[in-house]
Amino acid sequence: MSSATVVCPGLSKTAIVSDDPYLAARLSCALAEPRTYLPLLDGPRMTRPDRDSEVIRRNNALARLQSTRILLAGLAPDAERALAAKLPTNLTAVVTDPNVAPLGAGRSIAGKAPLVWGREYIGLGMLTALYARRPIEFTDHTTPPDLVPGKSGHLVVCERGELLSEVIAANYAFSLNAGLYLIDPTDEAERAELLEAYYSIDAPGRSPGDTRAWLKRRLRQMCGDLRIPPNGSVTFITRELPFGAAFPEVPSTHLFQYPDLGIAIVNGFTAEQPGSRGTNVAALVDPGKVRAPEIEAAAKLLPERRMFVRGYSRDGATVRAITELVELFPYDLLIFATHCGDASGYRWTYEFRDSEGYDRVLVVDIAIGLGATDDPDVVSLTEFLRYHSLDGVDWTDPEAKRGMHVGTALSDFHAALQEDRLKPIRREDIPRVPGSAAMAMADNNLVMVSPSLAASGSPIVVNNACVSWHQLAGRFTFANARAYVGTLYPVSDAEAEAVMVQLLSKQFGKALPHALWSAQNAIYGAGGDRRPYVVTGVYPQRLRATREDVPAHILNRLLHEWRERVPEQRGRPPASDWKARRAADAVAYYRREATAFRDKWFRKRKR
């Protein structure tokens, strides 16, 4: 099977939510079927300040799957209770180790001797058992690592160190008839160094070509003896690094192993199931901060694909307008063309006593985005917050952090901020907040921290801005983008236009990683080390249009969201509460948009 023909698998009607990798692996071997993806999600992280959102996001993923059986396996009691409260009781069951064998009864593994495997490299053992259609049992003996070959030209490369991600990677590989190869865990400090090298590749005194060559060599070294099948393709499941840029000879995509790897795979595979909608609604954003011929090209090419296009340009691309678009409008494809980079900001120092009784000194860096509101005296404020140090320990120093007791300090800090009980004791300006990745809009910087996209949809995002993959790939996929295309370093206007034209013309309809690889081959030459564009998401997903009454779809989605959100306003606290204000703004947006959309697209139909 060539890299262009990796086929999207079907979806099992059973889904697993687990934080126990060994139990999840045994359940997977009992339940998985060839050419079918068995969804596995990690449990909600109940120690986070946004624990309610953690539960809701998993509930939404299970609803997107239309699962008829949901197994909760090896979750902490609070996570299990929170999920069970959201899920239909007739579809949900709590399972433990003794339940595994009965679940496999009547399947092809029944009666077969289990594969005995060690407690390391469990993804390799699990995929071996899946291809042999055998159960798996884990013991304390040592199992040597090796490549598990697949039955297709696709290879999944997974970074070790997060066992549940290995299990999810094995399920993903099995569903694609792919092989699996595990690489050693990467070092946090080195990851930061390599990503910073990409970010500052055009800095004075550096040779971009030499830096690219060094990065390519180092990333390949970190992959060890990686044997990619001839004419093959790769999915990299790793922490942060864009390994695919170091292997320009094959098409590749990336998935982030933690958090929410399972949700990201669900978002990609559900969008490619038979009968699913295509990328029929596109939104184009050009604030006029850079020359953007690729937006003009997209505006011409997308309607030829029978896609509905909404454009935001110059003064129409304000922080407020684009924030509303990103979160609330029901688009399938979002294309940005603007400047992107870390913004200046502030360093604030807080002193407080945590709930364990420890006195704490927390220093944070903050970048802000400002947007207009309907009240001329009030602005909308979005904050990106990065930990700088805790009790004098540099947060970017993994060795120093290893011996530090964090405890409840961070959760207590965020709770105090939300309740407005804590003020900084010291403030200073700083020229750059690393990781803020602000995008320039017509009036101010847009700091992307949205918890959801496209009216709770799962769109494809193409961010044709400089260094837009560096931080935003993770943030957009965390907010449920099913695919994200961004850049590792600056590109010229001509490059940006050429890549866009390739994606929307000759490469349209192909698997997105293969389409991007072919586009970059056409522009930069096959095998060259200049590969600024990187794709994130499952391999077999595409830009494709389907037959649909698109205006009717958009209007129905706007009306649905309006009706769903109106009841949320009842019994709300006064509008001074920021959550109430955001909810009220969303209701006003849908009322305004639905009315305008109906007037523009449906009055003529009635005549």
Q: Measured between alpha carbons, how far is 166 from 21 in angstroms, rounded to an integer?
A: 8
Q: Measured between alpha carbons, how far is 238 from 258 in angstroms, rounded to an integer?
A: 8
Lowest mean pLDDT among 142-156, 475-489, 571-585: 571-585
- In Å, how far are 257, 313, 448, 469 from 477, measured between CA atoms? 12, 25, 12, 11
State pLDDT tens for residues 327-338: 999 999 999 999
Burial (CB count <10 Å: 0-12, 13-18, 19+), residue 548: middle
pLDDT at 497 over 90: yes
pLDDT at 604 over 80: no
pLDDT at 582 over 90: no
Question: For a pLDDT cut of 90, what percent of the chain falls above it?
Answer: 81
pLDDT at 1 over 50: no
pLDDT at 166 over 80: yes
Q: Tell me what pLDDT residue 343 has.
A: 94
Average pLDDT for 203-222: 94
Q: Tell me what pLDDT residue 195 has.
A: 95
Q: Tell me what pLDDT residue 402 has.
A: 84
pLDDT at 574 over 50: no
Average pLDDT for 232-239: 97
Q: Tell me what pLDDT residue 605 has.
A: 58
State pLDDT tens for residues 22-37: 999 999 999 999 999 9
Q: Tell me what pLDDT residue 142 has.
A: 85
**What predicted TM-score, i.e. pTM, was given to this entire model?**
0.94
pLDDT at 570 over 70: no
State pLDDT tens for residues 440-473: 999 999 999 888 999 999 999 999 988 999 899 9
Q: Measured between alpha carbons, how far is 317 from 297 in angstroms, rounded to an integer?
A: 18
Shortest CA distance to 120 belongs to which of 25, 50, 252, 232?
25
Average pLDDT for 174-180: 97
pLDDT at 43 over 80: yes
Q: Tell me what pLDDT residue 607 has.
A: 47
Percent helix, percent strand, percent coil in the chain, to nearest 5: 40, 20, 40
Band (pLDDT 50/70/90 cuts) for residue 606 is low
State pLDDT tens for residues 500-516: 999 999 999 999 999 99
Q: Tell me what pLDDT residue 564 has.
A: 86
Question: For a pLDDT cut of 70, what percent of the chain falls above it?
Answer: 97
State pLDDT tens for residues 274-330: 999 999 999 999 999 999 999 999 999 999 999 999 999 999 999 999 999 999 999
Give ∠ CA 340-341-343 in degrees, rounded to 5. Answer: 120
Structure-block tokens of residue 502:
């390739």
